[in-house]
Amino acid sequence: MSNYLISIVGATAIGKTALSIELAKHFNTEIISCDSRQFYKEMSIGTAVPYPEELAAVKHHFIQNRSIFEDYNVGQFEKDALEKLNQLFKQHNIVIMVGGSGLYANAVIDGLDYFPEIPAAVRENLNKQLKEKGIENLQNQLKNLDIESYNSIEIDNPHRLIRALEICIGSGETYSSFKNKPKAPRNFKTIKIGLQAERELMYERINKRVDIMINNGLLNEAKELVEHKNLNALQTVGYRELFKFFNNEITLEFAIEEIKKNTRRFAKRQVTWNKRDKDICWFNFNPTIKDVTRLIESKITCE
């Protein structure tokens, strides 16, 4: 039997964690997380790390295994994840991968794209612009230079926004033009399972999740991290808005509404990213485990 990676994708708060655990139990296997926000042990509530009982139910990898003080990127994750998969495939023919970071999932499944070396001065200038003119200025630049990337990357993430811009500016070519070229082959086959829901339901679940995060102590978690707010790991929804509250720039009520709004925008971009992938087998929100396993097993049998 070949080795299979079952990749669970979908917008934030759609139910990927619950499905991944049920699948891992069914196939008696383990889970790899490719959620780039859940790598960091200092960030738990705001990144929706699975609850302790969920982590105990099935063995998880790459959850809170790094510190916000470490430099960690998608290239390093690709290498680490492939090493872990090689180990897991010695014990299991099927491994589950789950997470909302499409770039990180694609790095494991297809490999990373090649990008040219760009002079450090380009990034330094963009970081200066970010500080002096704000993120919207950079977003508008990317919109003008590379509309495809503008519509697909996390443009609220300064790190990824600057990465796309520095390639456009430094190479004279679009960031998107370097993507989707032939990659190194993998020693496993991938079956992609997607979860989807009507937008109103998706947004309702997001709003409810944010309220739960606040009730579970997100405010205190963010307060403990505010002195490190300039670290790349903390340039993310849920923390960035609360840092503004701590700095007396906005009210707490407004900060919470901004978290909800920005999370909804993030979910919309996740949907856009995933809809481009014709290999994803879609299920409506909250499918039965029987329906999903039947599809997976039929694909394995056919191959």
What whole-number distance in Å separates Cα of residue 102 and Cα of residue 131? Answer: 27
CATH of the domain at 220: 3.40.50.300
CA distance 241 to 134: 14
Residues 44, 281, 111, 202: is their CA dihedral positive or negative? Answer: negative
Band of pLDDT at residue 271, cut at 50, 70 and 90: very high
Q: What pLDDT digit, counting tens, does each position of 250-262 carry?
A: 999 999 999 999 9
102 is in an annotated binding site: no
End-to-end CA distance of the chain: 10
Q: Any binding-site annotation on 15?
A: yes
Last residue of a domain, one of 129, 161, 178: 178
Is 17 a known ligand-binding residue? yes
Domain limit, last residue, from 131, 163, 178: 178
Q: Give the Å distances, CA to CA, from 253 to 38, 48, 63, 205, 245.
A: 25, 20, 30, 19, 9
Distances (CA, A) of 203 to 207, 216, 221, 260, 265: 6, 20, 24, 9, 10
Does 189 lie in the same domain as 174? no
- Tokens 């082959």 sit at which residue? 185
Say yes or no: 18 and 100 in one domain: yes
How large is the average pLDDT for residues 91-110?
A: 94
In terms of domains, do 146 and 212 share one?
Answer: no
Q: In the chain, how many domains are there?
A: 2
User: What residues does 60 pair with on adjacent strands?
Assistant: 31
pLDDT grade for 78, boundaries at 50, 70 and 90? very high
Determine the Cα–Cα distance for residues 162 and 86; give it in Å rounded to an integer: 33
> By residue range, what is the domain housing residue 140?
120-178
CA–CA distance, 83 with 88 (Å, rounded to integer): 9
**pLDDT over threshold 80, residue 28:** yes
Express each pLDDT in 127-182 by its tens digit.
999 999 999 999 999 999 999 999 988 888 898 899 999 999 999 999 999 876 77
What does the block give as tokens for 108?
Answer: 């494991």
* Residue 187 sits in the same domain as residue 55: yes
Specify whether the CB–CB gap between 11 and 202 falls below 8 A: yes
pLDDT of residue 97: 98
Indicate whether 105 and 124 sit together in one domain. Answer: no
Q: What is the per-residue pLDDT for 183?
A: 73
DSSP structure class, residue 249: S
Q: What is the pLDDT of residues 210-233, one digit of tens each?
A: 999 999 999 999 999 999 999 989
16 is in an annotated binding site: yes
Among residues 147, 178, 209, the one where a domain terminates is 178
The pLDDT of residue 22 is 97
Was 14 annotated as part of a binding site? yes
pLDDT band at 115 (very low <50, low <70, confident <90, very high): confident
Q: For the whole model, what pTM was predicted?
A: 0.82
Identify whether the C-beta of residue 256 lies closer than 8 Å to the C-beta of residue 214: yes
12 is annotated as contributing to ligand binding = yes
Say which CATH number the domain at 168 has: 1.10.20.140
Do 168 and 187 fall within a single domain?
A: no
Residues 232 and 194 in one domain: yes
186-206 burial: b if 16+ Cβ within 10 Å, else e: eebebbbbbbbbeeeebbebb
- Do 132 and 23 share a structural domain? no
pLDDT at 1: 67
Q: Is the pLDDT of residue 193 over 70?
A: yes
Asked whether residue 301 is marked as a ligand-binding residue, the answer is no
Cα 283 from Cα 165, distance rounded (Å) = 35
Residues 136 and 268 in one domain: no
- Is the domain of 197 the same as that of 273? yes
Residue 147 has a pLDDT of 95
With bands split at pLDDT 50, 70 and 90, how would you rate the model's confidence at 303?
low
Regarding whether 161 and 239 lie in a shared domain, the answer is no
Contact 265, 203 (CB under 8 A): no
Give the pLDDT confidence of 30-74 residue by residue, as tens digits.
999 999 999 999 999 999 999 999 999 999 999 999 999 998 989
Question: What's the confidence (pLDDT) of residue 117?
Answer: 87
Which helix (H) or strand (E) segment is 194 a member of? strand 189-196
Q: What is the pLDDT of residue 113?
A: 79
Q: Which of 275, 274, 270, 292 is nearest to 283 (CA)?
A: 292
Rounded average pLDDT over 199-208: 97
Same domain, 20 and 140: no
Beta bridge partners of 6: 96, 191
293 is in an annotated binding site: no
User: What does the DSSP 8-state code read for residue 51?
Assistant: P
Q: Is the pLDDT of residue 205 over 70?
A: yes
Q: Where are the beta strands (DSSP E) in 166-267?
A: 189-196
* Amino acid letter, 143: K
Q: What is the pLDDT of residue 82?
A: 97
Q: Give CA–CA dist 17/175, Å, rounded.
A: 31
